């Protein structure tokens, strides 16, 4: 079993829950409508921008189906075959995470990544989080549009130079 699977199981066990499948919204369920994702970080490695959740899964679960989603952040290091958990957060509702430390990046339709040290806003509402999501999504779409525009120019530019 790899480190992140071990950590997910340890954390789920701590809450008296079983882990879910890889395709599920969360790594375990606190309640029928409350998924929890465990995000583990090996402090001895350089983890650049860890993926948190796809925007499609997040949007459907939280904003369309009106469920809850929380994250638990775990720092650990491996010592041989053993894991040493250095720190572990309580479950943090997604709406309490600041967009100052999040970004939407390209993978599929987009994925939320943690791009800086965790910043929380304990009293931020889902509505305010959603406003931040819309701003981040607009920025993501603009970035993707520019990327595709540059790429497509290669075809147009090369059309007349191809020897048919």
| CA terminus-to-terminus distance, the chain | 54
Q: pTM of the prediction?
A: 0.86
Q: Cα–Cα distance between 97 and 86 in angstroms, integer?
A: 21
Q: Cα–Cα distance between 102 and 38 in angstroms, integer?
A: 16
* pLDDT per position as a tens digit, 34-81: 999 999 988 888 776 788 999 999 999 999 999 999 999 999 998 888
The radius of gyration of the chain's CA atoms, rounded to the nearest angstrom, is 19
Question: Domain segments of the chain: what residues?
Answer: 3-159
| Higher pLDDT pick, 130 / 146 | 130
Which DSSP string do the residues of 81-149 spell out, in sequence order? TEEEEEEEPPPEEGGGB-GGGEEEE-STT-EEEE-SS--B-TT--HHHHHHHHHHHHHHHHHHHHHHHH
Q: What is the pLDDT of residue 149?
A: 83
Q: Cα–Cα distance between 93 and 69 in angstroms, integer?
A: 6
Q: Which two tokens stand for residue 66?
A: 């009106």
Q: Hey, what CATH class is 3-159 in?
A: alpha beta
Answer whether 26's CB lies under 8 Å from 36's CB. yes
Q: Cα–Cα distance between 159 and 136 in angstroms, integer?
A: 35
Residue 83's pLDDT band (cuts 50, 70, 90): confident
């Amino acid at each position: 079993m790899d480190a992140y699977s071990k950590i997910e199981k340890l954390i789920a066990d701590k809450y008296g829950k079983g882990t879910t499948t890889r395709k599920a919204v969360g790594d375990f369920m606190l309640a029928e409508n409350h998924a929890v994702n465990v995000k583990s970080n090996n402090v001895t490695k350089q983890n650049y921008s860890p993926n948190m959740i796809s925007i499609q899964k997040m949007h459907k679960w939280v904003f369309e189906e009106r469920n809850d989603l929380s994250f638990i952040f775990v720092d650990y290091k491996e010592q041989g075959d053993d894991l040493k958990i250095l720190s572990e957060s309580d479950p943090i509702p997604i709406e309490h995470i600041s967009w100052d430390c999040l970004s939407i990046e390209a993978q599929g339709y987009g994925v939320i990544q943690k791009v800086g040290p965790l910043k929380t806003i304990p009293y931020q509402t889902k509505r305010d989080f959603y406003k931040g999501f819309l701003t981040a999504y607009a920025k993501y779409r603009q970035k993707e549009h520019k990327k595709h525009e540059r790429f497509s120019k290669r075809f147009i530019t090369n059309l007349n130079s191809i020897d048919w």
